[in-house]
Amino acid sequence: MKNELVLVDTQIRPGVALLRLNRPKELNALNLQLMAELRDALAILDKDENVRAMVLTGNEKAFAAGADIHQMSGKGAIDMLLIDQFATWEQIRRLKKPLIAAVSGFVLGGGNELVMHCDLVVASETARFGQPEILLGIMPGAGGTQRLTRQIGKVNAMEMVLTGQPVSAKQALAWGLVNRVVPVEVYLDEALRLASEIALRAPLAVRLAKESVLKAQDSNLSEGLEFERKNFYMLFASADQKEGMDAFVNKRPPQFTGS
Ligand code: DAK
């Protein structure tokens, strides 16, 4: 793929694709071109049957320091409405395959919101998470008041959103913003290891399980349980359900095919 601001590697591990945000001089600020490349690359990988899990990373200094302030500074409300960036973010939200964030350094504003679009998050000890929009005279616009509050609770979200001050990786772990914190030397390896582990699982089960967990974020319990039940029944129509259970009964490792 001929991307410039997002580099894609599909050979890194079997079944795993790595996407790297590539605007290092601008601390991976998320401009429109980068977001479009990211959306398009993810859409292709989501349909690629050789890819079973995806890892999204930046570099040691910055995962992403937020949306591009230079690009936004002259814009009016109608410009923002016509650009309709939400459509791009919504497509990322709707990915079917698991997306794992591997983050280090600055994870700010839209960078933190992008992380919340991912399914699992591995952070380096040096990562700093923040929603600094308030310091620019605006507020978060891609989930930084809604997803963040559901994820870390009202008072913690208020602190991040109203002060604009970043929190450490350790704090982010305690608040449930990330899955694990590891030394900076190994954060990407750890994310790739997790992706490889998930890539061995039955793809249809992974897909429906992801969809079901996400449903819990925006439905009430009875709606969510009903949704879960239908997905659960559906998996009994898959060859991989027969394979997984037969492998258990016959004490052998399963060979899942995604059918
Ligand atoms: N945008 C553009 N450029 C940025 C940037 C950003 N967010 N962050 C850093 N840079 C650029 C700097 O301008 C500088 O470029 P040069 O001046 O060298 O050309 C270069 O990256 C290095 O930055 P610094 O010199 O500032 O580096 P320091 O180590 O001194 O400071 C910093 C690092 C991260 C503390 C600082 O750069 C900083 O405060 N950056 C801004 C962080 C921020 O406020 N982020 C929130 C942006 S608002 C939406 C979706 C999402 C969003 C909005 C809408 N829709 C779906 C509609 C999200 C909004 C935001 O994220």
Query: Where do the domains of the chain lie, and which CATH numbers do they carry?
Result: 6-199 (3.90.226.10), 203-249 (1.10.12)
pLDDT band at 1 (very low <50, low <70, confident <90, very high): very low
| Beta-carbon count within 10 A of 69 CB | 15
User: How many angstroms does the Cα of residue 70 sit away from the middle of ligand 1?
Assistant: 8
Point out which residues pair with 53 in neighbouring strands. 16
User: How many angstroms does the Cα of residue 100 sit away from the middle of ligand 1?
Assistant: 23
| DSSP letter, residue 142 | S
Q: In the predicted model, what is the mean pLDDT of residues 10-14?
A: 97
Q: Which residue has the least CA distance to atom 22 on ligand 1? A: 26
Is the predicted pLDDT of residue 198 greater than 90, yes or no?
A: yes
Residues with catalytic function: 67, 110, 113, 133
CA dist 109 and 88 (Å) reads: 16
pLDDT band at 2 (very low <50, low <70, confident <90, very high): low
CA dist 132 and 142 (Å) reads: 13
pLDDT of residue 178: 98
Is the predicted pLDDT of residue 200 greater than 80, yes or no?
A: yes
Ligand 1 atom nearest the C-alpha of 131 is: 46
Pocket of ligand 1 (CB under 6 A): 26-27, 29, 65-70, 85-86, 89, 106, 108-110, 113, 132-133, 136, 141-142
pLDDT of residue 3: 64
Q: Is 19 left (phi over 0), alpha (psi -120 to 50) or beta?
A: beta
Q: Is 29:65 a contact under the CB 8 Å cutoff? A: yes
Is the predicted pLDDT of residue 241 greater than 60, yes or no?
A: yes
What is the pLDDT of the chain when averaged over all its residues?
97
Structure tokens at 180: 């694990």
Q: Where are the alpha helices (DSSP H) in the chain?
A: 32-47, 69-72, 77-83, 85-93, 110-115, 146-152, 154-163, 169-175, 187-199, 203-215, 221-235, 239-249
Ligand 1 atom nearest the C-alpha of 135 is: 44
Closest CA to 202 of 244, 165, 172: 244
User: How many angstroms does the Cα of residue 242 sit away from the middle of ligand 1?
Assistant: 50
User: How many angstroms does the Cα of residue 128 sit away from the middle of ligand 1?
Assistant: 14
Q: Is 182:173 a contact under the CB 8 Å cutoff? A: no
Q: In the predicted model, what is the mean pLDDT of residues 35-63?
A: 98
Q: 């992403």: which residue's tokens?
A: 64
Lowest mean pLDDT among 1-15, 16-30, 164-178: 1-15
101's CB contacts (< 8 A; 6+ apart) are: 55, 56, 57, 63, 114, 115, 118, 120, 121, 122, 191
pLDDT of residue 109: 98
Q: Is 130:95 a contact under the CB 8 Å cutoff? A: no
Q: Which residue has the least CA distance to atom 19 on ligand 1? A: 26
